[in-house]
Amino acid sequence: MFTKIKCGKLYDGVTPRLWKNKEILIEDNVIREVGYGLPEPQGVKIRDLSDLTVTPGMIDGHVHPQFFDYRELYNEYVCLSDGYRALATASCARKPLMGGFTTIRSMGWFSEAYELDVKRAIEDGKIEGSRLVVGSHFLCTPGSAGDSSQSLSANPYLSNYLMKMCPTCGSGADFFTNVVRREKKMGCDFIKNFGSGGFATPCDAPEDIQLNDSEFDAIFSTAKELRIPVTAHVYAPVMMKKLLKYNIFCMEHGALMDDETARMIEGSGVYLVPTFMPYEDIVNPNEESLSKKSDFFRRKLEKYQRRLQEGREIIINSKIKLGYGTDIVDVYNNYESGWEYNCWLKNGVDPFRALEAATSINAEICGISDKLGSITPGKLADISGWKRDLLKDPDALRDCAFVMKDGVEYLTESRI
């Protein structure tokens, strides 16, 4: 079956320009031709999107899909079952698809690997949703930013019990050798470790070092042997520099970036997914938004405000290969992937850099660039259409008007 899409404007995921009146010819689920005056095979379905800007299906490179509503997040560690979280993950996977994000990169959780079940159900056509690229579990140490039992630290017995329920929270080189092997066996697409502390957790700090050298050695050497990429939650320059020595594939956040570290990352070719959204309300102060965060989250943001502002400016002005990821765990819901675009544009980022991050660069980060990330012949037909001006309107990626994943059209839902 053939489908021909007539575009008003087209961003192909690679070239920093909008092409006017181009056409896309799709056979079944594969893009066959892109150009002008394309043939119309017998029985072709014509989709006239001449009033829209057409792009590759967007990719959100940092999502925690395991909760229905951000206000439930801290209760879910204890009060809700893995079955409930699996349902939340399925719901979250469906909603970004309706918003034009055809792929999401799930950054893992503290309990069992139900995300992999949701991923398989989507791939098998049992349920609708964005395709999932899954990290499944945090590799973390007790008390680290990945240790969700922090929220129960006032009750040591309950906190320790919950911590033992996480198969990838522990200490020592042998432990982390085994958990990397386990994650590979379970079917994870990448490994995520918590190298440093965080902002959204109560008992640690962003500059804490939370894995020692022997533990890092075990994670990276085992991952290399098993040919599985590694990314890391990291904020402080000292930890980013350490990770570079391990030839890490990607880093998440990097929000306390300094000039020296930025230059080192540029030279390494390592990807960075900067997740601007969680710190936007302190970088560009917004009291209403800050008031919706927990007390400890807000206090940390206030303490590091100046460095977060400086770090963002350094990241934006660098030549680091930036991916696009939201990491929404408060204020907005985890499926509202278009908010990160709003943040990039309002902070002066070239819109084509943001669009490239959310398409072809994220496809590289997700390991799917042979199939997705650009509108070019031979790629899968993941295509989105947008009513608003992508080059001027910060809310453009919150208002999807057309979405196709793997050659199939789905209903859209505006987030405006």
pLDDT at 176 over 80: yes
Of 97, 178, 179, the C-alpha closest to 136 is 179
Q: Supply the range of the domain harboring residue 42.
A: 2-56+373-410
**Are 137 and 23 in a shared domain?**
no
Both 223 and 277 in a single domain? yes
Tell me which DSSP letter residue 11 carries.
-
Residue where a domain stops, chosen among 290, 321, 337 = 337
Are 339 and 289 within 8 A, CB to CB? no
User: What are the tens digits of pLDDT across the range 253-286?
Assistant: 999 999 999 999 999 999 999 999 999 999 999 9
Is the dihedral angle over the CA atoms 346, 347, 353, 359 positive or is it negative? Answer: negative
- Rounded CA separation 397/411 (Å): 16
Residue 372 backbone class (left: φ over 0; alpha: ψ -120 to 50; beta: rest): beta
Q: What is the pTM of this model?
A: 0.95
Q: 113 or 191: whose pLDDT is higher?
A: 191
The whole-chain average pLDDT of the chain stands at: 93
Domain boundary residue, one of 337, 359, 390 = 337
Query: How far is Cα of residue 87 from the mean position of the Cα atoms in its chain?
Result: 19
**Which range, of 102-116, 171-185, 305-319, averages the lowest pLDDT?**
102-116
Q: Can you tell me the mean pLDDT for 376-390?
A: 98
**pLDDT value at residue 110:** 65
Within-domain flag for 367: no
Residue 371 reports pLDDT greater than 60? yes
- Asked if 140 and 209 sit in the same domain, the reply is yes
**What average pLDDT does range 40-47 have in this prediction?**
95
Same domain, 283 and 200: yes
State the Cα–Cα distance between residues 6 and 268, nearest whole angstrom.
40
CATH code for position 114: 3.20.20.140
Q: How many domains does the chain have?
A: 2
Please check the confidence at residue 76 and state whether its pLDDT lies above 60: no
Let me know if residue 246 belongs to a domain: yes
pLDDT at 214 over 90: yes
Q: Which pLDDT value is given to residue 79?
A: 62
DSSP state of 44: P
Beta carbons of 137 and 194 less than 8 angstroms apart: no
Helix H or strand E encompassing 10 = strand 2-10
Residue 240's contacts (CB-CB under 8 Å, 6 or more residues apart) are 234, 251, 254, 257, 261, 264, 265
Q: Where are the beta strands (DSSP E) in 186-339?
A: 191-194, 230-234, 250-253, 271-273, 321-322
**pLDDT level of residue 161 (50, 70, 90 thresholds):** confident
Question: Confidence band (pLDDT; 50, 70, 90) for 33?
Answer: very high
For residues 66 and 29, state if they share a domain: no
Instruction: Please state the separation of Cα 54 from the chain's center in Å.
Output: 21
